[in-house]
Amino acid sequence: MIERYTRPEMARIWSEENKIATWLRVEVLVCEAWGQEGAIPPDAVERIKGVALDLGRMHEIELEAHHDVISFLRMLQEQLGPEGRFIHLGLTSSDVLDTALAIQIREAGTALTQALDVLLVDTERLAVQHKDTLMVGRTHGIHAEPLTFGMKVLLWVDEMRRARTRLDAALDELAVGAISGAVGTHATVPPAIEEYVCAQLHLTPAPISNQIISRDRHAQFMTTLALVGGVLEQMALELRHMQRTEVSEAFEPFGAGQQGSSAMPHKRNPELTERVCGLVRVLRGYAVTALESMALWHERDISHSSAERIIIPDGTTLLHYLLWLMHTIIAGLEVNPYRMRDNLDMTRGLIYSQRVLLALVDAGMGRQEAYKLVQRNAQKVWRGENDNASFLAFLQSDPDVTAVLPPDQLAALADPAYYTRYVAVPYARLGLLDEAGK
């Protein structure tokens, strides 16, 4: 991942230094296990445990060998001399690579869950703060009925909590190691070695592996990253709409010295939320690549390997960056409740059409007759008849309506509080407030 979208803690996890150090950690543990089996002398095990990495020498060897694991092993064996023969005893490359990858993914997963938890707290706080902030709900981009901004944000809270659960489950599926040798038969490395190594690394031995750990686990993880990203995209897309000039209900942070356009000094573009939407597309692409990496020839090929060197480090790095970017947006969000109220009233009462419809039905009118009657008056508002009179005014002057509902009863129907009287219920269900809204 390019530096622009990489945070330091994730860069460390996926650095070459950390990757090779993790390979060495696995190799040393294998030697310890062989030592307990009596296959490696104790003094040789101690010497192996003290070996140092020389990445420069490893790279020199790789220019000749064209194989990173062989270059790694030769670099260690050069340092160890005779004891070097015990390194990689009975193993195949994927024993080291897949087990080490599980460790790095766990480290990356810890960073991801921490970032998601921070964002979740931000979003819960915003939802509670705006529990009663009235705004118009929109379906198909068209004004529908009143709700509160807090309810909109609370839906994001619920989605993020499910995202957190999915991420935990995907990380659990990948917390496995495999030290099973060529094609996974354990012929050259007994199961006891695998069990020891995995126990030391806090991994579970894969119940069965061939020469690699099955890639459905990795595909689940990568699709989970895309799903988490999809929640962020939903949030960002909504906020992009709310920042439109015609809407102006909420704005992402915009610094005092920030500039929105190279040509137009007045512009305050939603560049942060647009960035979220753009980068989540990359995450989805990585998920497709992971799904395509599940099907491999026989006991393994390496068509998955080159792709995973990109998609797993870059996918975790990118989502980590997006989670912290979304934290910046939500923590610094500027909400304009006055504009929300103006927009609520923009259609001059059309948002109360369903309530009028139901009142007519309750009074004994047939539903289709009532629907057409309400729609007839709504169309007058859309057309701007009678100097932009309100929906309520048209209804109160329509004898077919007032024959069923008197003007004062119609006026009482135009009350947004009717639509928010149960707003505390979802907050209570999500454990943020009780049903009294406290």
Give catalytic residue positions: 140, 261
Q: 146: part of which helix (H) or strand (E)?
A: strand 142-148
Contact 433, 427 (CB under 8 A): yes
Question: What six digits make up the tokens of 106?
Answer: 């766990």
Contact 410, 391 (CB under 8 A): no
- CA–CA gap between residue 216 and residue 316 (Å, rounded): 17
Question: What six digits make up the tokens of 322?
Answer: 């997006």
Contact 317, 256 (CB under 8 A): no
The residue among 295, 373, 304, 381 whose CA lies nearest residue 345 is: 381
Contact 193, 34 (CB under 8 A): yes
Helix ranges (DSSP H) in 297-366: 303-331, 337-344, 353-362
The residue among 75, 74, 77, 86 whose CA lies nearest residue 43 is: 86
- CA–CA gap between residue 184 and residue 211 (Å, rounded): 5
* Residue 174 three-state SS: coil
- CA–CA gap between residue 139 and residue 162 (Å, rounded): 24
Contact 19, 100 (CB under 8 A): yes
* Residue 148 three-state SS: strand
